[in-house]
Amino acid sequence: MVDSPAQTRRSFSVRPTAVPTESNLFEAIAGQAAGIEQNIGRVISGKGRVIRLAVTAFLAHGHLLIEDVPGVGKTMLAKALAASIGATVRRIQFTPDLLPSDVTGAPIFNQQTREFDFEPGPVFANIVIGDEINRASPRTQSALLECMEERQVTVEGTTYALDNPFLVVATQNPIDMEGTHALLEAQRDRFMMRISMGYPDEAAEQDMVKARAHGEPIEQISPVVTLKTARDMIEGCQQVHVADAITAYAVAITRASRSHQALRLGASPRAAVHLVAAGRAYAAMHGRGYVLPDDIQYLAEPVLAHRLMAISPASGLEAAAQLRAIVRGVVESVPVPVPIRG
Amino acid sequence: MNLAEARLTARANQTGWYGLPGHRPWATAACVLLLLLTLMAPLNGLVEGTDWMFWFAAFGGGVLVLGAALRALGLPGWVVTITQILVVPPALIACFAGGHAILGVFPNGETWQRFSEMGKNVALAIVLEYAPLSPQIGLTALVALGAAVVAIVFDWYTFTVRAPAATGLFMALVMVLPVAFLREGLALSTLVLPAAAYLLVLAVTNPVGRPRLPVPGAGLLKLFGALRSVVVGCVALALAAAAAWALPGLTSEPLIKPSVGPARFVSGVNPLVELGSDLRQQGDDEVLRYTTDAGPMYLRMTSLSQFDGTRWTHRKGQQVAFEPERSTKLPGISESGLLPTYGAQAEVFIEITNLRATTLPAPYLPLAVREAAGEWVVDQDDLTISAELASTTDQAYTVTVVTPRGLDSGLDEVMTVTKAVAAELALPEDLPQIIGQTAVEVLAEAAQSPDYDGSYVAQARALQDYFRRSGGFTYSTSTPVEDGFDGDSAAVVARFLEVKSGYCVHFAAAMTLMARYLGIPARIAIGYLPGSPVVGSGGGSGAGQPVTYSVKANQLHAWPELYLPGAGWVGFEPTAARADAPSYAPDPSSTATSSASGSASPTPSPSRSQASPRSRSASPDVTETATATATVPGGLAGGTVWPGWVTVAPGGLGGLAVLALAALGPMVGRRARRRGRLLGDQALAGAWDEVHDTATDLGLGVGPALTPADFGRHLKDLVGGGEAGAAVDFLVADVERAAYQPGGLTGAVAGGEQRAGYRAAVAAIVRALGLTVPRGRRLRAALWPRTLRRPHRS
C-alpha cells in the first residue's frame, strides 16, 4: 500500500498478525507442509487439492480413504507422502483370502527359544497403504479398522503399539463392486476423510507419461522433513485454537446433516471431532493459530460425505458426487457464527 | 445479473409500473394527479371557502405521489395500495385530531370520540344544510378522506388493474355529489377540465403504436409518442371548450337541477342545532328586506318553548286567522286595549328575497298581516305566523305591529301564571345544578346594586347584564363545536356556563332556563337581527321617512323572550356581540347614552317615539360592527382576525409532513441505525453488520452461510481493489481475529481510534458498493431498505 498522506489519514490497513510467538510455530508448520505438498506435487501433477487434503489428514492424525478408478495415482499419492516425510511405508493388497493376521502380524514359533515370537504385520509402519480394501473379507477389514482406531495391535493377549505417526491410506474402486464387501458405515466413519483423485487433465496426464519414461518417479522423491519433525508438526497442529463458535459451527453442520431430508444417515459425533481436528491442521498449514469457519467449510465435503447414506443412493462414482452435493447443501444451510460482540 | 437482481426485475414487471413497453410511469402518475385535481372544479361550491381545496389536493396528491414513489421502487401493486390505505388514517388523525391522539397520530378513545362527534356534526350538516356547507373541521376531514379514497382508487385502477379507463366510472360517482347537493346542479363547464385530464390519462397509458424496436429515429418517434398524448389532451380540451362555448345555455344554466330550493330556515327536527349550523355556514346573501318608518326591528319567525332537557321545540298553540278584530285575544294585549308597555302601531313592508320557510318573519308584536299570498294563520300563544301550504318564497307583505314603549311603569308586581304561560316555566327534571346556581348567584350579585329592586324586570335585566357584561362571556360560533358541546340540551347549557363561550343559541337557552328557574316564564325566539339600511333608501332623510333595511342570511338569531307580568312577552338580548341590549333593558354602562339619545341601537321592538334621525343613521354602523366581530371567536375582546388559511396552513403542513415522514420513515430509520452502529460500543460488530445490511439493501446480499472471508471476497469482487478493497480486507481481518482468535481483539475493539478506522472503512465500502448498482436500485435502497425490518446481527 502506498503510504500517501490521504491513506494514512484513513487508518484502516491490514495489521500484521497479532500473536507473534505462536505464529512462529504455525508458520513453521505451514512452511514444512508446503514443502511436503510441493514434493508430492513433483510426482502427481495437477492434484493440488487432493495433495493438500492428504497432508491435512496426515497432520490431523486421521486416516484417508481414497476412492477412485484404478490407475489415477492413488497408491502413488500415499507413497509420495510417505517418502516426503521419511516415514516407513507398507502396502497391503487386500484380497478375499487375506487373513487378519496377514494384516496385524502373528506369533511365530521360534525354534531356538522354543517360544512364540510376534512377527509384526504390515500395519507396523508409519504409513500403511491398504489397496482395494473392499476386496477383503469383513473380518480382515475390521482387523485393520481396529488398528486404525486403537493405534495398537493386540495378539494373543499382548498389545503392541503401532508406529507414530500412523496413517492408513485405504483405496477402493467404486466401479468394480462385484465380489467385494463394501465398508460398513461404522467402518467408513473411522476414516477422517475420503477423497477422490479424479482423472488428471490432459497436460498432467502427459506429464505422468513422460515421468515414467525416466524410471519409477517415486524413487526421485526424497524426504523433506524428518519423521521427528513430522511428529512435531502433528503435535503442533493440536495447539491450534478452536473458538467455541467454531466448535458450535462444526457441531451444527453435523447435526444439520442428521435432519437432512435426503439422508438416511447423517454425520456422527465423531465426524464433528474429525472435522475440527482436520480444521486445526488445515489452519496450521496456513500458518494460522486459529480455525476459521472457512476451514470447516472447506473440509466439510471430504470429512463428512463418506459417512452419509442417501435415502435413494446413486451408483458408482455418482454416489460420492451425490453425497458431496448434499454436504454442500447442509453447509449452506448453517449460518456462520461471527461472535464479534464483546 | 445475479439472482436477486433477476428477481427484482421480474417483480418490477409484475407491478405494472414497468410492465408496459414504452410505458412512462411518472408521466402517467402526473396525469392521474392532474385528473384528481381537476375534479375540484365540479365539486366547487359544495363546501364554502377554499380551504377544502387545499386538503383535497394535499391528501389526494399525497396518496398519488406516495403510490408513484413506492411503485418506482418496484413494490408490488397490492403493497402499494395497502400502504396508501394504511397511511391515510394516521394522516387524518394528525391533521384533524392531532391534539386528541397519542403522539398526534395513534388513535385512542378520545380520538374516536372526536371523530364520532365530527361525524355527527357532518351528518347533521349534510342532512340539514344546503350547499355550500359551512367549512367545519369534520367536513374538511371528510373532504380529505374522500380525496384520499378517490386517489387510491385511481391509483389502483391505473397501475395495478391497468384499466385507467375505469377511473371514468369513479369520476361519474364523484359527479353525483354536485348533482345531489349543489343549488345550481352540475354545470357542464366544470366538466371540461376533468374530461380533458381523463383523456390525457387514457392517451398516456395507451401503448398502442409506440415504437418498440431500436430502429433509427426511434428517439424521434418516442418524442412524437409523447407529443401525441399532449396533442390528444389539448384537442380534447379545445373540443370541450368549443362545445361549452357553442352551447351557452348549458354553461349558464344547471345541467341537472336539484329539487331543493334556495331558501332555508329552521324547520327540521332540531331547530336550534340547525340554527347553530346556519349561523356558521350561511353567507351574507340577503334573505329579505323591509321598509318601515319605525326604525330597525328584529324579525321574529317562531319561538321555542317546550324543553325536554335535550331539545327545544315549538309549542303549537291554537291557530287563528289573522284578523285585526281578534287581536285583543293575543297575549300582551289586554281587554282594554294595548298594554302600557306597548307604544304606537307601525306598518312594516317586508319583501322576501331569498328565503324559504313556512313561517313569516315579522316584528313583534304583529297585529295583522296583509297582502301575503296564501293562507296564513297565527299561533295565539306565541304569534308565530305560519302556513300549511304557503311558503315565504317571493312573498311581499305588510305587517302591522305595535312597538314596545318601555318597562318602567305599569308593570304588575305579582306573576299570574296563566295556562298560556305555564309551559314556559317548565324545567327538565335533571336540570344541571349550575344553571339554577348561576341564576341565584347573578341575582345575589345584582342585589348589591342600589338600583336593584327585586322586581321581575330587575331580575331579567340582571340576567341580561350577566351575559352581556359581568359574566365574562365571549361570542364564538366555533368553540361549542370544538369543545364538543354544540347543541341545545341542558347539559350543553351547563357546559356553556362553564366555558363562557358560545353563540346566540347558547346565550338564549341559558338565559331562558335561568329565567324559568327564577320563576319567570321564558322562551327562545328565533328570527333575524334588524339588518342594515339599504344605502340610498332614505335612511338619513329624517324622522318619519321610511327606511329600507336589508337582512342577510347570517343575521339569523335566537334571543330569549321573558313574560313579565303586566308587560307580556318581552325580548331580551344577552348576546352582546350580536346586537346591543334593548332600550328597555339597556346595558348599565350605556344607560346614560341610551336614555339620552333614546334607542341607540336596533332593539327587539324599538320605539318609534324614541327613534331620532341621528340615532337611526348611526345604528346601522353599530350593527355592522357587531355582526362583523360576531363571527370571530373572542370578538368582544377585540382579538386579531386571522384569515382561515393561516389557521389551516399549519395543519396542512403537518399533514404533508406526516405523508413525507411515512414515505421517508424507512430511510430515516435506516440512517439512524447506521449512525448508532458506527458510534456504539460494538464498533466492529456495528461496522460489520452495517456493511452486510448495505449490501443487502442494494440487492447484493449474501446468505448467512458465508464466512467473513467469503463475504469479503464477494465485496471485493464488486468494489474491486483500491481504497474500498483495502477497507474490506481491514474489516475482514479484524472480524476474523475478533471472532476466532484466542482472546479475540484484545482491548482494541472499543478504542476510539479503532472506531474511527471502522467508520472510515464502512464509509469507503458503502460508497463504493453504491456505485456498483444502477441509480434506481440505489434510490430504492435509500428509500425502502430491505433490512429495515431484519437487520443483520453477527
Q: Is B703 on the interface with A (CB under 8 A)?
A: yes
pLDDT of A327 reads: 93
Question: What is the mean predicted confidence (pLDDT) over B175-204?
Answer: 73
pLDDT tens digits along A32-82: 999 999 999 888 888 889 999 999 999 999 999 988 888 888 888 888 888
Distance of CA B526 to CAs B265, B301, B312, B365, B389, Å? 10, 6, 12, 14, 21
Across the interface, do A19 and B742 touch by the CB < 8 Å criterion?
A: yes
Question: What is the mean predicted confidence (pLDDT) over B500-512?
Answer: 85
| Cβ-based neighbours of A78, under 8 Å, separated by 6 or more | A54, A64, A66, A89, A127, A129, A169, A171
pLDDT tens digits along B416-464: 666 667 778 888 888 888 888 888 888 888 888 887 877 888 888 888 8
Residue B631 has pLDDT above 70, yes or no: no
pLDDT tens digits along B29-41: 888 888 888 888 8
Chain B residues near residue A297 by CB distance under 8 angstroms: 705, 707
**Confidence tier at B563 by pLDDT (50, 70, 90):** confident
Angle, CA of A141, A313 and A299, to the nearest 5°: 70
Question: What is the mean predicted confidence (pLDDT) over B39-45?
Answer: 82
C-alpha torsion angle, residues B407, B411, B413, B415 (rounded to 10) = -100
CA distance B697 to B695: 5
**Confidence tier at B231 by pLDDT (50, 70, 90):** low
**Shared domain check, B289 and B176:** no
Percent of chain B's residues with pLDDT above 90: 1
Across the interface, do B709 and A294 touch by the CB < 8 Å criterion?
A: yes
C-alpha torsion angle, residues B362, B368, B373, B378 (rounded to 10) = 70
Report pTM. 0.47
Phi, psi of A48 (to 5 degrees): -55, -40
Q: Could you give the domains of chain A?
A: 19-237 (3.40.50.300), 240-336 (1.10.8.80)
Which of B412 and A158 is assigned the larger pLDDT? A158
Q: What range does the domain containing B747 cover?
A: 648-788
pLDDT of B746 reads: 61
Across the interface, do B742 and A14 touch by the CB < 8 Å criterion?
A: no
Chain A residues near residue B727 by CB distance under 8 angstroms: 10, 12
pLDDT of B250 reads: 36
Place of cell 445490511: B693
Residue A178 has pLDDT above 80, yes or no: no
The chain B residue lying nearest A1, using CA atoms, is B726
Residue B310 has pLDDT above 60, yes or no: yes
pLDDT of A271 reads: 94
Q: Is B680 on the interface with A (CB under 8 A)?
A: no
**Confidence tier at B410 by pLDDT (50, 70, 90):** low
Contact criterion met (CB below 8 Å) for B609 and B343: yes
**Confidence tier at B538 by pLDDT (50, 70, 90):** low
Which of A286 and B372 is assigned the larger pLDDT? A286
pLDDT of B119 reads: 82
pLDDT tens digits along A229-276: 999 999 999 999 999 999 999 999 999 999 988 888 889 999 999 999
Residue A63's SS3 state is coil
Contact criterion met (CB below 8 Å) for A200 and A51: no
**Shared domain check, B737 and B630:** no
Mean pLDDT of chain A: 85
pLDDT of B637 reads: 33
Question: What is the mean predicted confidence (pLDDT) over A127-139?
Answer: 87
CA distance B495 to B497: 5
Question: What is the mean predicted confidence (pLDDT) over A191-211?
Answer: 86
Across the interface, do A342 and B750 touch by the CB < 8 Å criterion?
A: yes
Contact criterion met (CB below 8 Å) for A42 and A210: no
Residue B340's SS3 state is coil
Percent of chain A's residues with pLDDT above 90: 32
Nearest CA distance, A284 vs chain B (angstrom) = 13
DSSP letter string over B399-423?
EEEEEE--SSSS--SS----HHHHG
Decide if B259 is inside a domain. no
**Among B142, B164, B185, residue at a domain's last position:** B185
Mean pLDDT of chain B: 71
Q: Which of B719, B740, B745, B792 to mutate to test the interface with A (most CBs of A within 10 A)?
A: B740
**Shared domain check, B599 and B678:** no
pLDDT tens digits along B664-687: 677 777 777 887 787 777 888 888
Q: Is B46 on the interface with A (CB under 8 A)?
A: no
Residue B310 per-residue DSSP state:
S
Decide if B263 is inside a domain. no
Across the interface, do A292 and B733 touch by the CB < 8 Å criterion?
A: no
Decide if B245 is inside a domain. no
Distance of CA A102 to CAs A105, A146, B307, Å? 6, 14, 121
Which of B5 and B514 is assigned the larger pLDDT? B514
**Shared domain check, B700 and B573:** no
**Shared domain check, B50 and B23:** yes
**Among B597, B612, B637, residue at a domain's last position:** B637
pLDDT of A244 reads: 92
**Shared domain check, B449 and B346:** yes
| Cβ-based neighbours of B229, under 8 Å, separated by 6 or more | B27, B200, B203, B204
**Shared domain check, B654 and B631:** no
Of the listed ranges A17-26, B166-175, B322-331, the least confidently predicted one is B322-331
Which of B322 and A88 is assigned the larger pLDDT? A88
Decide if B209 is inside a domain. no
Decide if B242 is inside a domain. no
**Among B156, B185, B214, residue at a domain's last position:** B185
Which of A180 and B239 is assigned the larger pLDDT? A180
Cell of A40: 508430492
Nearest Cβ partner for A332 among B705, B730, B737:
B705
The chain B residue lying nearest A332, using CA atoms, is B705
Residue B11 has pLDDT above 50, yes or no: no
The CB density around residue B39, as the number of other CB atoms within 10 Å, is 26
Place of cell 325580548: B571
Computed from CA positions of residues B622, B625, B631, B632, in that sequence, does the dihedral angle turn out positive or negative? negative
Percent of chain A's residues with pLDDT above 70: 91
Cell of B299: 324579525
Nearest Cβ partner for B705 among A331, A340, A342:
A331
**Confidence tier at B319 by pLDDT (50, 70, 90):** confident
**Shared domain check, B685 and B553:** no
**Confidence tier at B365 by pLDDT (50, 70, 90):** confident
Decide if B81 is inside a domain. yes
Decide if B701 is inside a domain. yes
pLDDT of A331 reads: 92
Q: Which of A21, A330, A338 to mutate to test the interface with B (most CBs of B within 10 A)?
A: A338
| Residues forming beta bridges with residue B313, ordered by sequence position | B306
Question: What is the mean predicted confidence (pLDDT) over A116-124?
Answer: 87
**Shared domain check, B180 and B116:** yes
Tell me if ipTM is over 0.90: no
Residue B313's SS3 state is strand
Residue A16 per-residue DSSP state:
P
Residue B210 has pLDDT above 50, yes or no: no
Q: Is B684 on the interface with A (CB under 8 A)?
A: yes
pLDDT of B604 reads: 43
pLDDT of A258 reads: 92
**Shared domain check, B692 and B605:** no
**Shared domain check, B717 and B584:** no
Decide if B676 is inside a domain. yes
pLDDT tens digits along B78-125: 888 889 998 888 888 888 887 777 777 788 888 888 888 888 777 766
pLDDT of B654 reads: 57
pLDDT of B652 reads: 57
CA distance A300 to A330: 9
pLDDT tens digits along B636-647: 333 344 444 444
Q: Per the structure, how many domains does chain B have?
A: 3
CA distance B708 to B720: 17
Place of cell 341607540: B600
Surface-to-core class of residue B375, CB atoms within 10 Å of its CB (0-12 exposed, 13-18 middle, 19+ buried) = exposed
Question: What is the mean predicted confidence (pLDDT) over B313-318?
Answer: 75
Which of B277 and A107 is assigned the larger pLDDT? A107
Nearest CA distance, A283 vs chain B (angstrom) = 11
**Shared domain check, B673 and B579:** no
